[in-house]
Structure 1
């Protein structure tokens, strides 16, 4: 298994170091945080290929980190003779017997350490030193990659030309480009791994026999007639025969079918599910590293549940999975403890979470955990009505909605406050938590969650017991019954508290839409100030 990944100078990652989980890795991050780039870099170092082609064939100037290139140009223009930008990807593996052929100390780890590993280095080719220096006299942001070389080596400093069998890799991406024959490169690779050598040989021989038989059947009459036509220089007969060269092998014409429909014509969700199942099939026993891009794409909720169950059941101890996702359902179902939160050259793990909390979120897969994970600042409130009223108070004070200030207000909707605070504490997220007192002393309510609170970062605000147990009596106390009836449009003969308690969301919506402002409860106003900062 991969125990450490280092990516330097590749696309968005200037200097990234990741220590992945041994089994599941759920890679989550905001747009442009480098999730797909990390997956691409790992696949590059494992297979020496990208998009089905060798690294040298696909190499282009846009692979290089723009900040590194800009710094290089700036220094060269000012006369500083710095080296040309490079890309380095290193994968450090567990020290197990089957990987000993990759073991060595030729890596950038400090202090020097020997372990199995592979590296992909893309650097200026010294054979073109003169051409590179001539180009550097008037450099541009597009590096002359024609003068670069790609070195794929093991930590034992041995050159790799093809992927070692011990690094069998499957890449599943519903967006991969199909070949002209209707199956993309990754699918062909997965299918190839399902076949034993004897099976491949048998299919190949039978395919050659079938092609040869056409010469004695369908082509026979044509060849008899053509034999009388002397079209060659030396009057030798010409004939039609099936091409038996390697470029017309059976792999190019045999295609999988799903319920009698060609694979390439199946739905994209079905294609993605088939790729994942084939790659993770224990019978194949070959794909040690499985990378899946957004398994939720093109799938209904029911299909996604089925696919995730399949992933969980197929995942073996000798497979390491890397999965990018934008789905809270995927994140909750496969486990928050597998989370790798991506930022620019930074990753965070949730290995400190209590196993009970991980199981709690697995049982609550519909909760929008991803909003907590990705938000800069979080406000946790008890229900939709609290969320609506909080946003109105925030807008009245600062003239903007919380989201415009980078603050996400999230209703707990049954989520345990303690679990939510533990998750935020593990992520180091600033959080404003707001809850009713329910007739209990605030100090008593704060006690069980105090270990996850941090003054100035994560604070809990609770309504005063003397002004009512929930939000509704608090609003009546602070705003006053007369003004609140006017805002809500409630007649004098109606029981205001009973109506507000029964119609919580409707009351909150009327407060939100009213031209008149309420007088906010003290705890909610303090929470608004704290959240804004």
Structure 2
């Protein structure tokens, strides 16, 4: 739906006078119009589109309607029509008898009021309205919030909805464990009985598993709604299948530094702080670690969004003997632009991050970290214990803020470019 508010030209002078006088806003002089997605007028008098919707707000989940609907459907699936008729009849007789008995007991101590109380049995023909369901000894109304979120989706996924129905779900990730999140995703993928499902989420798994090409992205750093409807199917499938991807962090960040490996991720924030005097997030920059083979997937998304991204990677010159070897500049030729740069160590023998660190700081590192247990030397230890060594180096950098430490030039250049 679109809400359009426009002032009435016939009252322009009155509106101008009220606004310039500083009085309250003259909304009485404005016309309100609703339109549907195709631009047609929508009103209570002409409902060409019978817009029906169901809202599941997981931040305040207490959906009695959804619970009742789930129990109602469960009851009708587990019982035959003749059994339901018999149950309803006996239930009505039972409640009428109880009402009479209650009235007799109540009458023994009734007040002088002209009103007397009795059980309302007028609408007790549907037995399903007065029952609940129990799972592992716990009534559904007492179930955890995560269970209620899933039940709310199941209840609105029965295929019995009539008319044009929209299912609105606010942050379905609330209250859900990782496994239950996957259960919910499967339910949403197989949604029936609705024409459209609209989900508001901050969760990368929810966003990517349901097809990134259908995402509408809203960010306070950009006043436009951004879409990825033309993204390649290969990239869409990558984010759908990739574990622990940082898709939403990537698309919502102002700028991004892409790195590969745990060691780079552990140290990059401190390198950035030493070089700039600020934390990356203070400048709207996110650092995201991903497998080097997935850089191109993120860069394709960045290209669609004109997002400024820098890739910091190894030069992999040790692989030159491989017949499939492709240089870094050649490998990313289709992505390098004003919005995207790729940096690696230009010194050929520094083919990986640890070698660049060591060859720029060998004396400092040998004096600080080498011990007798490193029988093959410090560099061998660094290459075979990358994350562990990175944590040790981080402690050193925090002690003196990297006063005597030389950050490799290619990292300096990458940080300078992303900050410009």
Equivalent of 1:513, from 392, 395, 400? 395
Q: Does 1:266 align with 2:143?
A: yes
Written as runs of structure 1 = structure 2, the 5 A alignment for 1:18-33 is: none
1:308 Cα deviation (Å)?
Answer: 1.1
Q: Distance in 1 between matches of 2:33 and 2:86?
A: 41
Partner of 2:12: none
Match of 2:283 among 389, 399, 405: 405
For 1:398 and 1:73, the matched residues in 2 are separated by 52
Q: 1:495 to 1:8 in 2, by over 3 A?
A: farther
Partner secondary structure for residue 315 of structure 2: coil
Aligned to 1:290: 167
The equivalent residue for 2:378 is 496
Shift of 1:356: 0.8
Counterpart check, 1:168 vs 2:48: no
Aligned twin of 2:203 = 327
Partner of 1:476: 358
Contact 1:223 1:240 in 2 (8 A): no
User: Is the alpha carbon distance of 1:191 and 1:257 closer, same or farther for their aligned partners in structure 2, counting shifts above 3 Å?
Assistant: closer
> Are 1:525 and 2:402 an aligned pair?
no
1:18-38 residue CA offsets vs partner (Å, 9 max, x unmatched): xxxxxxxxxxxxxxxxxxxxx
- Note if 1:396 corresponds to 2:274: yes
Conserved 8 A contact 2:71-2:133: no
* TM value normalised by structure 1: 0.62
Aligned to 2:156, the other structure's residue is in SS state helix
Alignment partners' CA distance in 1, 2:105 and 2:381: 97
Q: CA deviation at 1:412?
A: 0.9
Give the corresponding residue for 2:336. Answer: 453
RMSD of the alignment, in Å? 4.4
Q: 1:278 aligns with which of 151, 155, 158?
A: 155
Change (3 A) 1:159 1:84: same
Query: How big is the shift at 1:268?
Result: 1.1
Map of 1:485 onto structure 2: 366
CA distance in 2, matches of 1:466, 1:257: 68
State how far apart, in whole Å, the 2-side matches of 1:490 and 1:72 are: 81
What residue is the counterpart of 2:130 in the other structure? 254
Unaligned runs of 5+ in 2: 7-14
1:286-340 Cα shifts (integer Å, max 9, x gaps): 6721111122211211111122112212357x62111111211112211211211
2:64 maps to 1:184: yes
**What is the deviation of 1:358?**
0.5
- Shift, 1:347, TM fit: 1.3
Match of 2:2 in 1: 6
Residues 1:358 and 2:236 are matched in the alignment = yes
Q: Deviations over 1:342-395 (max 9, x none)?
A: 135531111121011111111114222221122121100111212233323222
Query: What does 1:206-221 correspond to in 2, within 5 Å?
Result: 210-211=91-92, 214-215=95-96, 219=100
Residues 61-460 of structure 1 aligned to structure 2 (within 5 Å) = 75-78=19-22, 83-84=27-28, 90-93=34-37, 115=40, 118=42, 153=43, 158=45, 166-176=50-60, 178=62, 183-185=63-65, 210-211=91-92, 214-215=95-96, 219=100, 223=104, 241-243=118-120, 254-259=130-135, 261-284=138-161, 288-315=165-192, 319-343=195-219, 346-413=224-291, 416-439=294-317, 444-455=327-338, 457-460=339-342
What whole-Å deviation, never above 9, does each CA across 1:237-267 have from its counterpart, x for those lacking one? Answer: x987543567x88699535424364432121
Contact 2:53 2:166 in 1 (8 A): yes
- Once the two structures are TM-superposed, the CA of residue 460 in structure 1 deviates from its matched residue by 0.9
| Paired residues, number | 393
> 1:51-94, CA deviations, whole angstroms, 9 ceiling, x for partnerless residues?
xxxxxxxxxxxxxxxxxxxx999934358995558796845246
Compare 75-84 and 282-291 and name the one that shifted more: 75-84
| Counterpart-to-counterpart distance in 2, 1:416 and 1:361 | 10
**Structure 1 residues 254 and 499 mapped into 2: Cα distance closer, same or farther (>3 Å)?**
same
Partner secondary structure for residue 168 of structure 2: strand
Alpha-carbon contact 1:212-1:242 (below 8 Å) kept: no
